[in-house]
Structure 1
Amino acid sequence: MDPALLPSGRPSDRRTPVVVVAGFSGQAAADVARLAAGLRAAPGTVTIRHDLSGLGEGIVHRTVRIGEQETSTVLELAHGCVSCTLRIDLLPLLCALAARDSVNRIVLELDPAFEAEAVCQAIEHVVITGVVGRVDGPAGREVRIEAVLTCLDAQTWLADATSEDTLAEHGLATVDDDRTVAQVAVGQIDFADAVVALDNTGDASDRARLAAVLSRLVPEAPVAWVRDIAALDVEALLARIPAHSRRGRVFDAHAPLLRGQPPLGTEHGVALVEFAASRPFHPARLHEALDVLFDGVVTARGRMWLATQPNEVVWLESAGGGLRVGGAGPWLAAMSPSELEQADPARRAMAALRWDEQFGDRDISLVILAHDADPADIRQALHWALVEDDELRLVERAPERVAQWEDPFGEWHADPCETSEPTGLPVDGQTKSPRGEAK
């Protein structure tokens, strides 16, 4: 490779490369340190780990290793939380290390409570202030994400990815952290540029099913199946990452839902279910239909059009037994001329291909990754939730009447459901499990 080119094929970039190493639950979490140690063997590589196990007491243990040299520090955070750790310590530390001529690469060993996507987003966007001799700005001016490497335990990952438990229930976060085990387990893989699968099961069918899930969740990420992490050539795995891999990029709600051309057929009971419609959901019926996204489903995500909220793109995202619904900004058809000018050109171009004279770019587009559910049942439930022909005429001609319909998503479901029936909807920004308990 031309030394003037990065692995991504871009021209030379003087920013210090960062490799993010993540792993959740079981042996995968334990082997994050071993993966980082393998990377640290390269000259000029520094590894950083923040141990968040004492976060509830406002304490974080930070370890920095350069070769055989190790420095451990106990940090006291007045408002102990993951975001505080990022903002107060990790981001300034990245900038300080990047300024050293002796540092060629930084490896972040993520604690299980850290999410790689949140770390990468913070590096790119959170402004660091008050550093003497440095102009205020994000750490992304000094460092760049070279790769996100995620380790999973083949024996436990699918169970974690379909769990209803919270991180707090597993002792991995404080009680006020509402994130679920599934959210973190799925998110770590979904954001990975490469995956290490620790496979000691010996069960060929279980491995085949997990492989089918991975090929649909991260179709372009190289996957190394190993029985012992010591046998892995981690540098060779990183070299297999495609030049166009995301490398820390965070996509918004209007990015393509199917990235990397994943297999669309069913394999070992695993399937991607695409659901698209050019008419809106009836909110009350959708509220009832959402249960179909829990049992036998790893994850679902996409954009929705609700009849009662015609101006707002509604974003849905699920992992295992929890689901979140929230706003993703206005539809292009609801924007003012000045807002439309500022909209992403790629989004406008795609919308122009399917623009409707009456409704503009409003539509429904969902992708569901099922591992033990009938795709026909999922499609049937979601189709039942769409407005019928007579209701669609009201949407067209009497939106003021439609606005009076029952809408469980109003105010983003700020109050808990009074019914004891399962809903899967967010409560005050939290996640609700299919049994209705706030998560």
Structure 2
Amino acid sequence: MGAGKTTLLNRVLNNRDGRRVAVIVNDMSEVNIDADLVRADTELSRTDETLVEMSNGCICCTLRDDLLDEVRRLATERRFDYLLIESTGISEPLPVAATFDFRDEFGDSLSDVARLDTMVTVVDAANLLNDYASHDFLRDRGETMGDEDERTLVHLLTDQIEFADVVILNKVAAAGPDKVDSARKIIRSLNADAEIIETNHSAVAADKILDTGLFDFYQAHEHPMWAKELYGFADHVPETEEYGVASYVYRARQPFIPERIQEVLNGDLPGVIRAKGHFWLATRPEWVAEFSLAGALSSVKPIGTWWANVPQERWPQHVLESDYIKQHWSEPWGDRRQELVFIGAGIDWAALRSTLDGCLVPAALAAGPEALPLDLPDPFPGWRQVENAA
């Protein structure tokens, strides 16, 4: 049983409030089951509506050209007020949205003829808690975009919820109060802005997802709760009182002791639902490392080098970039810093902050870059510059 996105589509089509609606249904299978369900449950007028099936691929990659052609054709006909695109359940929302800003070799873009209005994600309240705690890869669930698809279920769920304007929390009656409460906390920990609509059988009024004007490509990058906390967006209002979700940002300048911070980041973090940020190690003063945790899965990877490790003559000359470096510069470490955000319910922040403080190299042992204890045991895997990697 799915989360209910096809049921939602059928309900909207049957309660359109006079809108003329075109539908694009996308499915990874050779036989487009979702499109068959839409046909079975919905009357699609030959004159007022149309159903375009796009099978055997995903909207954001192999079918991008087809999507461009179909949306442009439907817009040119001027017979429709609204276009619903049901993307495959395993597609990532950012590439789908980017399709509307993409310009082809002739300079044509969907944004010339259509406006992306609302990104909607449907979540199964009964299964979200278990799915979010899963270690499964998509291939373990029998759904991938090809042999090289190494994505996990948790990362897909996180991407889809973090990017949504509206999250339909479906099957709340079947889930029960405890699972619904957990699902609310997960959703709000991932996305600070999305409207959460709780429902059964995808019973949602059409005006909740049509003509909302909610989508903004640039603001969509600010939806994730971790981004608001880490970068301090001014319009962010904490959701602690409404959802029982709290967020905390850890900041420090001293480097981490590799063994200690690895043990903490890989260990139990009670109450933490989402965590993200960057940090640096005493043994690798040139590297910016990124930590990301969603559900039961966490990762650490290098994402670049600190400007403090780059000769000043190679620094950017653009005023905005120069100001950014100055804003984050503090002697003796330059722009090197620890910035990690932890979001969840029931986090003992005082204890977690104390634990993280205990991972820092004491100032007495590392007063500056020239005095770093580079010989500390370092259990992290080797990192190499991309251009030097085999």
Q: TM-score, normalised to structure 2's length?
A: 0.76
Find out whether 1:184 has 2:184 as its counterpart.
Answer: no
SS at match of 1:224: strand
Find out whether 1:124 has 2:124 as its counterpart.
Answer: no
- Which runs of 5 or more residues in structure 2 are unaligned? 39-43
Indicate the residue corresponding to 1:194 in structure 2. Answer: 166
Q: Which amino acid aligns with 1:322?
A: L
Cα deviation, residue 108, structure 1: 1.9
Report matched runs for 1:10-409 at 5 Å: 26-34=2-10, 37=13, 43-54=19-30, 67-72=48-53, 74-75=55-56, 84-124=61-101, 128-129=104-105, 134-135=106-107, 139-140=110-111, 142-173=113-144, 174=146, 176-198=148-170, 199-201=172-174, 203-230=176-203, 232-237=204-209, 248-249=220-221, 257=230, 261-263=236-238, 265=240, 270-292=245-267, 296-334=271-309, 336=312, 339-342=315-318, 345=320, 352-371=326-345, 374-376=348-350, 378-393=352-367, 395-398=368-371, 402=374, 406=378, 408-409=380-381
Sort the Cα spacing of 1:188 and 1:270 in 2 relative to 1 into closer, same or farther, 3 A. Answer: same
Sort the Cα spacing of 1:310 and 1:128 in 2 relative to 1 into closer, same or farther, 3 A. Answer: farther
- Which runs of 5 or more residues in structure 1 are unaligned? 1-24, 415-427, 429-439
Sort the Cα spacing of 1:181 and 1:338 in 2 relative to 1 into closer, same or farther, 3 A. Answer: same
**Fraction of identical pairs, as percent:** 24
Q: Which amino acid aligns with 1:292?
A: G
Cα deviation, residue 278, structure 1: 1.7
Separation in 1 of the partners of 2:306 and 2:15? 45
Cα deviation, residue 241, structure 1: 6.6
Cα deviation, residue 285, structure 1: 2.7
Cα deviation, residue 325, structure 1: 2.9
Separation in 1 of the partners of 2:218 and 2:176? 32
Separation in 1 of the partners of 2:15 and 2:359? 50
SS at match of 1:128: coil
The one-character-per-residue Cα deviations of 1:96-144 (angstroms, maximum 9, x if unpaired) are 444444454432212111011232235435x533xxxx33x66555544
Separation in 2 of the partners of 1:236 and 1:251? 18
SS at match of 2:119: strand
Separation in 1 of the partners of 2:5 and 2:208? 21
Separation in 1 of the partners of 2:82 and 2:126? 32
Separation in 2 of the partners of 1:213 and 1:69? 37
Moved more, 250-259 or 276-285: 250-259
The one-character-per-residue Cα deviations of 1:174-207 (angstroms, maximum 9, x if unpaired) are 4532211111112211111112111214733443
Checking the alignment, whether the CA contact within 8 Å between 2:261 and 2:359 is kept in structure 1 is: yes
Separation in 2 of the partners of 1:42 and 1:403? 71
Indicate the residue corresponding to 2:41 in structure 1. Answer: none
Sort the Cα spacing of 1:245 and 1:299 in 2 relative to 1 into closer, same or farther, 3 A. Answer: same
Q: Could you say which structure has the higher strand fraction? A: 1
SS at match of 1:106: strand
Q: Which amino acid aligns with 1:314?
A: A
Q: TM-score, normalised to structure 1's length?
A: 0.69
Sort the Cα spacing of 1:113 and 1:242 in 2 relative to 1 into closer, same or farther, 3 A. Answer: closer
Q: Which amino acid aligns with 2:360?
A: L
Q: Which amino acid aligns with 1:382?
A: L
Alignment coverage as a number of residue pairs: 372
Moved more, 251-260 or 28-37: 251-260
SS at match of 1:185: helix
Sort the Cα spacing of 1:244 and 1:82 in 2 relative to 1 into closer, same or farther, 3 A. Answer: closer
Checking the alignment, whether the CA contact within 8 Å between 1:209 and 1:270 is kept in structure 2 is: no
SS at match of 2:51: strand
SS at match of 1:228: coil
The one-character-per-residue Cα deviations of 1:207-244 (angstroms, maximum 9, x if unpaired) are 334334433432322222222323x2132455667687
Indicate the residue corresponding to 1:411 in structure 2. Answer: 383
Indicate the residue corresponding to 1:16 in structure 2. Answer: none
Separation in 2 of the partners of 1:312 and 1:95? 45
Q: Which amino acid aligns with 2:118?
A: A
Sort the Cα spacing of 1:323 and 1:97 in 2 relative to 1 into closer, same or farther, 3 A. Answer: farther
The one-character-per-residue Cα deviations of 1:324-376 (angstroms, maximum 9, x if unpaired) are 33343443444555652348x3x765664453132233212111223466445
SS at match of 1:207: helix
Sort the Cα spacing of 1:165 and 1:219 in 2 relative to 1 into closer, same or farther, 3 A. Answer: same
Q: Which amino acid aligns with 2:296?
A: G
